[in-house]
Amino acid sequence: MSNNSIACHNESSGQYSILPVCIYSFISSVGLIFNITALAFFFHNTKSRSHTIVYMTNLAIADTLLVLTLPMRIYYHLGFTGLPQWFCDGLGLVLKANMYGSIFLLTFICFDRCMAVSFPMSSHVQEGRRKAPVVCLGIWILTFGASLPIYLFGPQTDSPNCFDNLPIYAIQLKVVLPTLLMGFGFPLVIMLICSWGLVSSVQQSTVAQTKLVDGRKIYRMIATSLLIFLISFLPYHATLVLLYLDGPTPSCTVLTAYRYSLMVACLNTVLDPIAYYFTTDTFRRSFDISTVKRMFPLNSQSSESTGRSRRPRNS
């Protein structure tokens, strides 16, 4: 860790750590509730599971794993020290791997929807869509397999600053270039192409012209997916570019921007479940109070017992 990074850490310690604590606390609590609820819905409604739902289930798992790393960041930003560096690096590995897993899964969700709408009668497309579980397995292997060597064989640090260490791996050209291209650039290009394909298919579809398909709903789905993707991941990858351009001793401003852009990227775990609700008809139609009661029978039983206790007894 560079002296400049240590100085920036000292300047940002103390009272200024309250903002990371608040942001990470919000993301961890709300994100955990949202994603556990989404997973309960996905696993409860196995009969209506589509190929897109397979991707969404894996996305919710990735978001949940990411959220589970945040309490230790809260612990650190509250001023507690003494965490071993290998433990901090391990949590960083899980966070980054699941963040890029979310990026790839969001990309394949968009691609799957594009294929389903653009080529609904193609047997080759339908056969390819059935391989969604294999694609998800490949994404898990890719994200953790690509991240693990960086933490195992990269340069080691004995700095005690845990999560405030300079992201030295991310500013090396041999790492940052593939990260920007494969981890953000290509997925963004694919999402843009698929979104354009979806819009074109809807405009040319005779079914959409007869109002049997709500084109506005599809447009809203496209806009929501792209907006969530850009809001969550564009700031983080933009700061990676700034870190690289600043060289081995980036300024405190760039380091601070990097740390807060990582928080924004983690916010994706809260936004994804909201996207499930507003862009997926099956999720929105099925997810109501009765569904929640069926998924959590203890609550419904307690409510019923409470209701019975409040009823007046016949004398």
Least confident range of 96-100, 233-237, 309-313: 309-313
Which residue carries 């966070």 as its tokens? 95
With left for phi above 0 and alpha for psi between -120 and 50, is residue 123 left, alpha or beta? Answer: alpha
pLDDT digit string (tens) for 187-204?
999 999 998 988 887 777
What one-character-per-residue DSSP string does 72-95 give?
A: HHHHHHTT-----HHHHHHHHHHH
Amino acid at 197: G
Mean per-residue pLDDT for 35-50?
Answer: 78
Residue with tokens 């852009």: 261
Please tell me the distance from the alpha carbon of residue 216 to that of residue 165, in angstroms, as a whole number. 46
What is the DSSP code string of 45-65?
A: T-TT--HHHHHHHHHHHHHHH
Backbone angles phi, psi at 177, to 5 degrees: -65, -50
Q: Where in the chain are the domains? A: 3-286
Q: Check if the beta carbon of residue 48 is closer than 8 Å to that of residue 282.
A: yes
Rounded to whole angstroms, how far apart are CA atoms 273 and 137? 21
Give tens-digit pLDDT for 229-247.
999 999 999 998 888 888 7
**pTM of the predicted protein model:** 0.80
**Contact status, residue 50 vs residue 107, Cβ threshold 8 Å:** no
Question: Which phi and psi angles does 167 have, rounded to 5°?
Answer: -70, 75
Angle (CA) 78-81-82 rounded to 5° is 150
Straight-line distance from the first to the last Cα atom of the chain, in angstroms, rounded to the nearest whole number: 78
Confidence of residue 223 (pLDDT cuts 50, 70, 90): confident
More confident site: 302 or 270 = 270
Per residue in 128-171, pLDDT (tens digit) is 888 889 999 999 999 988 877 766 665 555 555 677 766 666 66
Share of the chain above pLDDT 70, in %: 71
Alpha-carbon distance of 9 to 22, in angstroms, equals 18
Q: What pLDDT shows up at residue 303?
A: 46
The matching CATH number, chosen from 1.10.600.10, 1.10.540.10, 1.20.1070.10, 3.40.50.720, for 3-286 is: 1.20.1070.10
Which residue's structure tokens are 């930003």?
77
